[in-house]
């Protein structure tokens, strides 16, 4: 009975250690996902600003009356 109790205690300790490692790995993964989302948001914001700048330039310059290729128009609408 004493040996079984020691084995159970060892098993519990090993499981607790494994849980700690998994908890740390999970937190690192969460942090990485949050950081990547922040980068994605910044890239999307910059892309939107750049598209708005291009639209403004196109509307205010003489080229505003020149037909753009459809692919360019499609990209600007996005």
Higher pLDDT: 55 or 26? It is 26
Alpha-carbon Rg for the chain, nearest whole angstrom, is 28
Tell me, what's the pLDDT at 62?
73
Q: Which residue has the higher pLDDT, 68 or 47?
A: 47
Q: Mind listing the pLDDT tens digit for each residue in 9-32?
A: 999 999 999 999 999 999 999 999
Look up residue 1 and give its two tokens.
């009975």
Q: Are 58 and 64 within 8 A, CB to CB?
A: yes
């Amino acid at each position: 009975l004493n040996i079984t109790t020691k084995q159970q205690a060892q098993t519990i300790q090993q499981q607790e250690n494994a849980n700690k490692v998994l908890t740390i790995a999970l937190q690192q993964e969460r942090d990485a996902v949050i950081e990547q989302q922040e980068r994605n948001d910044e890239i999307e914001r910059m892309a939107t600003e750049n598209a708005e700048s291009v639209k403004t330039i196109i509307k205010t310059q003489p080229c505003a009356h020149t037909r753009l290729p459809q692919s360019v128009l499609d990209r600007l609408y996005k």
